[in-house]
Each structure stands twice: as structure tokens, then as C-alpha cells.
Amino acid sequence: MDNHSPRGPRSALLDKLAWLEYAFQPAGLPAPADAAYGQQRHSARVVLAGQNQPPKSCESDGVIGDSLSPVAVYTADCLPVLFADAGTHQVAAVHAGLQGTLAGVLGSAIDSLQARGAQVAGLYIAIGPAIGPCCYELGSDRVAQMQARDDLPTPRWSVEQPHNPLAVRPQARAHHQGVWFDLPYLARELLLQRGIPAPHIDVLNLCTYCMAETGSSYRYNTHFASGYQSRFSWIRRREEGGVTSL
């Protein structure tokens, strides 16, 4: 992973796919002018790009490309998840906070891609900058609710706050006597549960609270009233990729 690219951190996994372009942009940069993205509501709804051109034409938390234009999501602690299908050269961008992840937005994206010809074994997925278990305090009651669900993998959490040796600013302090929750891990386990091969999932592990650029974290702003800006993450298929229509 390269955190110093002008387009933001890079995924070694997606970088191997020459037929696409993508970015986990630094917070505050605008989305590409022709990008499609929805009015995000922490839902499981995934739509085609044409339904959100112009942007925010409808409520959705995932967008599948249906042209060469980028599809995007905006985040400020939630997971930005980019999908690429090696077989059909489809791409998708998904906004997956805890609520949307529990609602099934990642599964909805997989279902929608499969309905358009993708195979699970051919999907490559990068989970971008998001709040990490070093800084994401969650009420223990929420964890208990997850543990009571038989459709979810076992969540990972810790009573003791994990130390992040790569932090560039102080980690979050406990505010609610809760637990420290690993949201990227939950997303990865849900993808594995759906049959995505483990080598096809790249978790960037860049915490927006303590590791990313200033203004990346909604939660940091709630603690310090420092302001925050959305991070746009986008992906598109290149024209020269060998597939000109979906």
C-alpha cells in the first residue's frame, strides 16, 4: 500500500488490474466531474450508475458502472469499498458504514454484479481508509446484537484499546466505556462468507481518525469540533480494457 500517491492510498490488488482506474482520494477533493454517486442513507440499496447521473438523483449506498464514467462513494469514517470483476470488467463502489454493512450492502453489491454476469471467484475488492479498531469505540450492546444474529460472522472487538504504532495523531479516547470494534474485519469476513477468495480482498488498514490526513474523520470532528470533509473513492473501467459494453 502506498499512502503517498497524489490520488491517495493505493491498493496493490487493484493496481494489478490494468483495465481499470480508481482512487481513494484525500479528504476534501471533489469527485470526478462525470462520476455517479447516490444520496447515501446507510442502506443496502445498490443501483446502476445511470440512476445517479446527475449525482444524488436517488438514494443508494452502492453504484455499479454501466459506462466508462466513474462510480463513486463519499465517506468520513465509513468503509469505501471498490469492486472489480475480472471476467466482465464491471466495477462498483459501495459505502459501508456499520449500519449499511449490517443491512447487507456488500451482499447486495455482489448480488447485483452476479445478476449482470460476474462470478464470485472473479471479484477483486479493496476496502479503503476508514476508522480502525484503534479508534472506533462501540457500545457493547451493539456487539451483543451482532453476536445474536446467526447470519453474521463472529465480530472482532477488544475491551482494551489496541495501540496503533503507525498513528500520526493521538488515538481516540474512550467516551462511552464501550469496546473497540474492527469494522474492516467484519466487512472482510462478510465477503469471505459470500465466497470471495481471501487473496482477492485488500484491506488498506488506514485509520481515518489517527492515520489519515487532517479532516478525514467524522468522529474526530465530534470529539474536537475540528471540521471534516468527505473522501470520495471512485473506480472506472478503461476503454482500452478490451470490453466496451456491459
For residues 21 and 68, the answer to whether their CB atoms sit within 8 Å is no
Asked whether residue 136 is domain-assigned, the answer is: no
Residues 3-58 have pLDDT tens digits of 445 679 999 999 999 999 999 999 999 999 999 999 999 999 999 999 999 999 99
Domain count, the chain: 1
Asked whether residue 142 is domain-assigned, the answer is: no
Asked whether residue 120 is domain-assigned, the answer is: yes
Asked whether residue 86 is domain-assigned, the answer is: yes
Asked whether residue 171 is domain-assigned, the answer is: no
Cell of 73: 462513494
Phi-psi group of 89: left, alpha or beta (phi > 0 → left; psi -120 to 50 → alpha; rest → beta): left
Print the domain residue range for 112. Answer: 12-131+184-241
Residues 210-225 have pLDDT tens digits of 999 999 999 999 999 9
Residues 81-129 have pLDDT tens digits of 999 999 999 999 999 999 999 999 999 999 999 999 999 999 999 999 9
**Residue 17 carries which DSSP code?**
-
**Strand duo 71-75 + 123-127: pairing:** unpaired
Element holding 133 (H helix, E strand): none
Asked whether residue 174 is domain-assigned, the answer is: no
**CATH number for the domain harbouring residue 86:** 3.60.140.10
Asked whether residue 212 is domain-assigned, the answer is: yes
Asked whether residue 167 is domain-assigned, the answer is: no
Q: Where are the alpha helices (DSSP H) in the chain?
A: 12-15, 98-103, 105-115, 140-147, 183-193, 218-224
